[in-house]
A = this chain, B = another copy of it.
Amino acid sequence: MNHYTYEELPEGHEESFCVDVTDDKMECFYRITQDENPLHRDAAFAKRMGYDTRVAYGMLTASLLSTLAGVYLPGERSLIHMVETEFPRPVYVGDRLTVTGRVQEKNDRFRTMILKVVIRNQNGEKVCRGKMRVGFLEEKDSRQL
């Protein structure tokens, strides 16, 4: 896990990691959400709708933004304020996703940063693009009240 402070992250700084989309992750997401939508659970239904097979939950892909902020950018002191995501292409079980985040803009007054996020599959196709506003946790006693 990274331990970046606000000062240690310049605009342009980038971090990446890879994740495999597995049946186990699909099942975990179902246990959290009870989202029984057949697009994600029934390959025959998904095919009738024009997909190769059942489609991974978009919000499962989006959940990787939690890892991006909480482990990489900035890591330990991450506090997510806002997340925006779009899903230009479907993700399937078996896909290997590469999540990349870049510090797009810093706000010195509020000590927050805007991360620009892109997630690509193993073919280099963009399956998710997003933006996050992330702040930095401070120990309670050291806060300026």
A1 to chain B, nearest CB (A): 6
CA distance A62 to B27 in the complex (A): 17
Interface string of A20-50 (1 = CB under 8 A from B): 0000110011011111111110000000111
Contacting residues of chain A (45-104) with chain B, CB-CB under 8 angstroms: 48-50, 57-60, 62-67, 70-71, 75-76, 78-87
B67 adjacent to A34 (CB under 8 Å): yes
A138 at the interface (CB under 8 A from B): yes
Interface centre among A36, A80, A86, A87 (most CB of B within 10 A): A80
Question: Contacts A28-B29, A83-B84, A87-B80: A63 and B59 contacting too (C-beta < 8 A)?
Answer: yes
Q: How large is the interface on A (under 10, 10 to 19, 20 to 34, 35 or more residues)?
A: 35 or more
A66 adjacent to B57 (CB under 8 Å): yes
CA distance A75 to B37 in the complex (A): 7
Query: Interface of A with B (CB < 8 Å)?
Result: 1, 19, 24-25, 28-29, 31-40, 48-50, 57-60, 62-67, 70-71, 75-76, 78-87, 137-140, 143
